[in-house]
Amino acid sequence: MEAILYIGISQALFAGILIALKRPRMLANKILGAWLLIICLEMVIVMIDVTLVELYPIKILPYTYGPLLLLYAQLMTREHPTFHPGYMWHFVPFFLFLIAVLLFLDKPVMNGTDGFLLMDRFVSVRIIYGVTFFMSITAYSIATFVVIHRHQKRLKQLVSYSSGKITLQWLLGLSITFYLGYVLMFIFGGIDILVGFMPFDPYELSFIGLTILTFLFSVFGFNQSSIFEEVVKYKDAEDVPENDGAGKYQRSGLKKKDVARYISRIEAFMQQEKPYLDRELTIYDLSDSLEIPRHFISEVINEHMGKNFYNLVNEYRVEEVKQRLKDPAYQNLTILAIAYDSGFNSKSSFNTIFKEKTGMTPSEYLKKVSARNS
Q: Which residue, of 198, 231, 264, is where some domain finishes?
A: 231
Same domain as 255, residue 178: no
Same domain as 270, residue 213: no
Per the CB < 8 A criterion, the answer to whether 321 and 134 are in contact is: no
SS3 282: strand
Percent of the chain with pLDDT over 90: 56
Beta bridge partners of 282: 159
Orientation of helix 202-223 relative to helix 2-21, angle to 10°: 20
The larger pLDDT score, comparing residue 122 to residue 92, is at 92
Same domain as 187, residue 95: yes
Q: DSSP for 50-63?
A: HHT----SS--GGG
Residue 237 lies in a domain: no
Residue 10 backbone phi and psi in degrees, to 5: -65, -45
List pLDDT tens digits, range 54-69.
555 557 888 999 999 9
Mean pLDDT throughout 45-54?
66
Residue 103 lies in a domain: yes
pLDDT of res. 245: 47
Distance from C-alpha of 229 to C-alpha of 77, rounded to nearest angstrom: 11
pLDDT at residue 106 tops 80: no
Mean pLDDT throughout 243-248?
52
Same domain as 331, residue 363: yes
Q: Which residue, of 200, 231, 262, is where some domain finishes?
A: 231
Same domain as 362, residue 253: yes
Residue 63 lies in a domain: yes
pLDDT of res. 226: 86
Which amino acid, residue 318?
V
Same domain as 183, residue 38: yes
The larger pLDDT score, comparing residue 323 to residue 227, is at 323
Which of 320, 245, 324, 237 is CA-nearest to residue 276? Answer: 320
Domain CATH number, residue 339: 1.10.10.60
pLDDT of res. 235: 38
Per the CB < 8 A criterion, the answer to whether 232 and 239 are in contact is: no
Residue 272 lies in a domain: yes
Mean pLDDT throughout 270-291?
95
Contact partners, residue 238, CB within 8 Å, separation at least 6: 293, 294, 295
List pLDDT tens digits, range 189-239.
777 667 766 666 767 788 888 999 999 999 999 999 888 776 665 434 444
pLDDT of res. 234: 42
Mean pLDDT throughout 241-255?
60
List pLDDT tens digits, range 4-29.
888 999 999 999 999 999 988 899 99
Distance from C-alpha of 191 to C-alpha of 113, rounded to nearest angstrom: 10
Q: Which residue, of 186, 201, 231, is where some domain finishes?
A: 231
Residue 11 lies in a domain: yes
Same domain as 339, residue 260: yes
Residue 7 lies in a domain: yes
Orientation of helix 169-195 relative to helix 65-76, angle to 10°: 170
Per the CB < 8 A criterion, the answer to whether 283 and 272 are in contact is: no
Domain CATH number, residue 49: 1.20.1070
Same domain as 301, residue 186: no
SS3 341: helix
Q: HEC profile for 302-327?
A: HHHCCCCHHHHHHHHHHHHHHHHHHC
Beta bridge partners of 159: 282
Mean pLDDT throughout 241-258?
65
Residue 215 lies in a domain: yes
Same domain as 227, residue 251: no
- In this prediction, residue 110 has a pLDDT band, given cuts at 50, 70 and 90, of low
Same domain as 225, residue 260: no
Residue 238 lies in a domain: no
Q: What is the dihedral sign for C-alpha 77, 83, 84, 87? A: positive
SS3 3: helix
Which of 355, 239, 235, 256 is CA-nearest to residue 303? Answer: 256
Which of 4, 194, 199, 180 is CA-nearest to residue 113? Answer: 194
Same domain as 195, residue 72: yes
* Cis bond upstream, residue 24 (ω within 30): yes
- In this prediction, residue 115 has a pLDDT band, given cuts at 50, 70 and 90, of very low
Same domain as 368, residue 269: yes
Name the residue range of residue 53's domain. 2-231
Distance from C-alpha of 76 to C-alpha of 155, rounded to nearest angstrom: 13
Q: How many residues in the chain?
A: 374
Residue 282 backbone phi and psi in degrees, to 5: -120, 165
Distance from C-alpha of 196 to C-alpha of 202, rounded to nearest angstrom: 12
- The total number of structural domains in the chain stands at 2
